[in-house]
Amino acid sequence: MVSFDYTIKDELGIHVRPAGQLAQLCKGKLSKSTIEIDGKEAEISKLFAVMALAVKCGDTITIKVDGADEEQTAEEVLKECDVVIEHTAETQAQAHAMLEPHVSNAR
């Protein structure tokens, strides 16, 4: 089994888009991948189970991968977390910055 901790930096936590992308990644793998927080655990491949964990910004989750391709899957999950969770926070900040001049002019 491979496990690692990951601190969520996205202001929205793990919301539907990153949870869905992680679920898609894990569905085709031989290993079972889970997210654990505060004693609760969910299979990453099950979108609604991950959403039910209600992971928020600042939370530290433990990701566990167990099975035939665990090392490769753990690496891919970590990379996907870096892309989908961190990227969504950056994209959201950029979107707010782009909308601000329009909102200010409308007032």
Handedness of CA 52, 58, 59, 60 (dihedral sign): positive
Q: What phi and psi values does residue 61 have, to the nearest 5 degrees?
A: -105, 155
Question: What is the structure's pLDDT at 97?
Answer: 64
Element (H, E) at 37: strand 32-37
- As a whole number, mean pLDDT of residues 49-72 equals 94
Question: What is the structure's pLDDT at 18?
Answer: 92
Contact 10, 76 (CB under 8 A): no
Q: Which residues contact 33 (CB under 8 A, 6 or more apart)?
A: 26, 43, 44, 45, 63, 64, 65, 73, 74, 77
pLDDT, tens digit, for every residue of 64-99? 999 999 889 998 998 888 887 766 656 556 655 665
pLDDT, tens digit, for every residue of 17-51? 999 999 999 998 999 999 999 999 999 999 999 99
Residues recognised as catalytic: 15
